[in-house]
Amino acid sequence: MNDWIKAETDGNPENIQSGYTLSGKAVEEGNSTSFVAPFMVSAMVDSSNQQWINRLWNRTIQEQDDDDYFANTIKMQTMIVVSGNWWAP
């Protein structure tokens, strides 16, 4: 998944669209944080993705979704995992 999204977007998080079909075709134009942020977790599979993670992180923190509870919740959960602050009880 990580290799696909990097290739699909030419390594630019701003090119991630708000949803894709199973065949990889964008279903909606837009760049919602709720679709961008989770790709940081998929990038964690390999340390060679650190620059990609950094670009995704920077895109995620610059986006202000003040009135979007759903996007902000996904953003927070993703950032907790990527920053290493997730813990298993």
The least confident of 15-29, 33-47, 56-70 is 56-70
Q: Is there a domain that residue 75 lies in?
A: yes
Has this prediction a pTM greater than 0.85?
yes
Which among 34, 35, 3, 1 is positioned nearest to 16, based on CA atoms? 35
Q: Is there a domain that residue 87 lies in?
A: no
d(CA 59, CA 63): 6
Q: Is there a domain that residue 73 lies in?
A: yes
Q: Is there a domain that residue 13 lies in?
A: yes
Number of domains in the chain: 1
Q: Is there a domain that residue 43 lies in?
A: yes
Tokens standing for 7?
């290739």
d(CA 63, CA 61): 5
pLDDT digits (tens, 9 = 90+) for 44-86: 999 999 999 999 999 999 877 667 888 889 999 999 999 999 8
d(CA 89, CA 79): 18
The residue range of the domain holding 30 is: 2-82
